[in-house]
Chain A
Amino acid sequence: MDTFRNPSLPGVCTTKRHLEAFGRSDLAAAVLMERIVRDAYDSKSSSAIQPLQWSILRYIERSPEDRCTLTLITSYLGLTHAPVSRAVRTMRDRGLVGQRSHPRDARSAIISLTEAGRAALELDPIRKIALLVGTLPDSERAAIKRALRSIAISLSS
């Protein structure tokens, strides 16, 4: 299939077939979505908390203690065991979470936030975006939520 570079979006290759389905401004909107999220996460540093690690920290913060097991976190995120286990181990080594025995299940451990983990969550990058969404006029807030919901559902189906 023929591909070409879009002069207004350096680095973006697209296909003629795709261009029939969406316009340049639609593609630009997609690039904006990508940039907004990527820029929020300061992943330039190797010590930065990674997106999956943020998801786990957020889950632990708002879940009852006995639901903070590796099995339930993995199930909630819809992932496989290995990456979640790795992410938890990395955060444990960095002092962001702690682990202790589950009082009613000897095979699992309760994962909890440490003070450092709580402090990190205060700087959760996604909150920056939420804050900006919150400053939009009501009609724009409703419109952006509606649009993102439609896109998210379409991507998953």
Chain B
Amino acid sequence: MPKVVVIDDDVEILKIFPRLLAGSEFEPCCTSDVEAFLERVRSDRPVAAIVDFWLLDNSALPLLDRLRAEGQDLPVVLMSGGGGGHSALMAETLGEVCGIVSFLHKPFRRAEVIEALRGATVALN
């Protein structure tokens, strides 16, 4: 089953993903740690990643830079509900400048996540 790596510093959000993607064609691997996320990307060969815009006190943009620097062309779906000085609009715009394929505005529904992942996978193919 195609894997999707999910990173969010909010573990409550991470707990949602296995239930959210249950019954779909995607299997989530969730982590709140940047290094663990990168290791998953290298070892699990996921088809996409879902990345929260805020990872502790930093934006996810340096992480997206690291992905690209490692030569990973993994499609990234960015998620944000705004906050931390950035609206969801700004988070999406900054993400798009960094090459994300899709954006999820929190709170989102199951169908929206699956649609975003399907779109991301199509973009990869």
Contacts and interface: CB of A to CB of B under 8 A. Distances in A.
A156 B85 contact: yes
Interface string A60-80: 000010010000100111110
Given A67-B105, A75-B81, A145-B97, A152 B89 contact: no
A78 B97 contact: no
A145 B97 CA distance: 6
Chain A interface residue number, banded: 10 to 19
B82 A75 contact: yes
A77 to B, nearest CB: 5
A75 B69 CA distance: 33
Interface string B58-83: 01010000000000000000000110
B98 interface: yes
Contacts of B61: 149, 153
Contacts, number: 40
Given A72-B105, A148-B97, A156 B90 contact: yes
Interface in A109-157: 145, 148-149, 152-153, 156-157
B90 A152 contact: yes
B85 A64 contact: no
B55 interface: no
Contacts of B81: 75
B88 A78 contact: yes
A111 to B, nearest CB: 15
Closest 3 CB pairs of A and B: A78-B87, A156-B85, A76-B88
Given A76-B105, A148-B97, 7 more contacts: A76-B89, A78-B89, A145-B97, A152-B93, A153-B61, A153-B94, A156-B90
